[in-house]
Amino acid sequence: MKRSFKILLCAVAAMATLALPVRSVAAVPQGPTVSAAAAVLMEKETGRVLYEQNAHEAMPPASVTKVMSLLIICEALNDGRLSLDDMVTCSDHAASMGGSQIYLEPGEQMSVRDMLKSVVLGSANDAIVALAEHVAGSEPSFVEMMNARAKELGMNDSSWRNACGLDVEGHVTSAYDIALMSRALLLEYPDIKQYTTIWMDSVRGGEFQLANTNKLVRSYNGITGLKTGYTSTAGHCLSATAERDGMELVCAILKGPSSAERFEAAKQLLDYGFANYALADLSAGGDELQPIPVNMGKAERVAVAPEGGTKMLVERSQLSSLEHEAVLPDVLEAPVTAGDALGEVIVRAGGEELCRIPVVATESVERLGFGDIYSRLLERLFMGSGVEDPEG
């Protein structure tokens, strides 16, 4: 059975997970030439790379390192190992970091909330190391967590040596890996944007002022973050994220020649992405992917969905002619296992086929046993007899 429909154009909220596949639908138009040693532009929802320049060249990232550290800390917030109201005590080691800092004293206590604010806005090395020690017991243990998580994310160009990004031999990552970890942070802990979009704030009851090092917060439409970095060795680095019309882009810049040029490079790449691409929602505007009836199942129907989620990245010029067709069976036979491929969605633009996306079961349906069939039969006989429950 075929079910055809047009995709409605709408701004859709981000709902995908890190498991979303990258769907290549059309050739990427030529992107701008930017002033940086390396750069990547990635769409957050699908993980698709829209632009790359020396994407996998490993080099020092300076304080953009803190995106990885923030990811580990925010995962601890997500699973309850850490609370925003927890008080963190600064160690001698954390207080000795130097570089960008809020001048924590050994033994000084500050809430996780204020330390996060200090890290995101002021790039405070002492605060991120204090948080790392609070989460893992020591900075070396925390760095082990950073490297393990990077491996899970497929960040094959990265090797972390500290939590803050100060230059150390062998402490490197790539523009592609920065995009990966930035995407992970946004997907797993979107509340981080409550901090990354602040321009100015303070800690210590207003005594210590913070100004966001990401100047795009004041000047770029739709900016959502994320982190700057600079050392004389690393140059001017940046992870910039922005959202418009339901699509969020991640831009990674490494070794820009100046602060102004890294921000300009990010603006050029973000503008390029928003001008040329859009997200389509395969579930928008209809009831096409309805549950499918199941014969001999403990449940009468099984829910289905496109494999990897309902979002698809397309060229903006294709939106007006985009359509998709679901090819699904009228009925299934139990058992059905979650993840079983049951059909497909054929996506076309202007009549030309772009891709085919498997449609899978989102839940399992067990087959009825003899006892289940007997119980159902008795239930139907009882309900059809008109006999009233004496206790009713």
| CATH number of the domain bearing residue 322 | 2.60.410.10
Same domain, 271 and 346: no
Give me the number of domains the chain comprises: 2
Task: From residue 271, give the alpha-carbon distance in Å to each of 100, 244, 358, 362.
Answer: 30, 10, 32, 37
Joined together, the tokens standing for residue 263 give 């921000």
Q: Which domain holds residue 101?
A: 38-277
| CATH number for the domain that contains residue 188 | 3.40.710.10
Low-confidence ranges of the chain (pLDDT < 50): 1-26, 287, 387-392
Q: Is position 177 within any domain?
A: yes
Same domain, 159 and 95: yes
Residues 198, 199, 202, 203, CA torsion sign: positive
Q: Is position 32 within any domain?
A: no
Say which of 69, 118, 123, 239 is annotated catalytic: 123
> What pLDDT was estimated at residue 212?
98
Same domain, 209 and 89: yes
Domain-terminating residue out of 277, 295, 318: 277
> What pLDDT was estimated at residue 5?
36
Cis-peptide, bond into residue 116, ω within 30° of zero = no
Same domain, 335 and 268: no
Q: Is 83 a catalytic residue?
A: no
Q: Is position 201 within any domain?
A: yes
Same domain, 304 and 265: no
d(CA 352, CA 321) in angstroms, rounded, equals 10
Same domain, 80 and 217: yes
Q: Using DSSP, state whether 288 is helix, strand or coil.
A: coil
> What pLDDT was estimated at residue 385?
54
Alpha-carbon radius of gyration of the chain: 26
> What pLDDT was estimated at residue 9?
30
d(CA 171, CA 61) in angstroms, rounded, equals 8
Q: Is 123 a catalytic residue?
A: yes
Same domain, 192 and 326: no
Amino acid at 129: V
Say which of 44, 63, 227, 267 is annotated catalytic: 63
Q: Is position 1 within any domain?
A: no
Q: Is 259 a catalytic residue?
A: no
For 137, other C-beta atoms within 10 Å of its C-beta total: 10
* pTM of the complete model: 0.84
Q: Is position 11 within any domain?
A: no
> What pLDDT was estimated at residue 2?
45
Same domain, 272 and 287: no
d(CA 40, CA 189) in angstroms, rounded, equals 22
Task: From residue 218, give the alpha-carbon distance in Å to each of 18, 214, 222, 246.
Answer: 29, 8, 10, 20
Q: Is position 176 within any domain?
A: yes
Say which of 44, 66, 193, 255 is annotated catalytic: 66
Question: Residue 236: in which H helix or E strand, if any?
Answer: strand 235-244
Q: Is position 18 within any domain?
A: no
Same domain, 222 and 298: no
Same domain, 102 and 48: yes
Domain-terminating residue out of 236, 257, 277: 277
Same domain, 273 and 153: yes
Q: Is position 2 within any domain?
A: no
Domain-terminating residue out of 258, 277, 296: 277
Same domain, 187 and 298: no
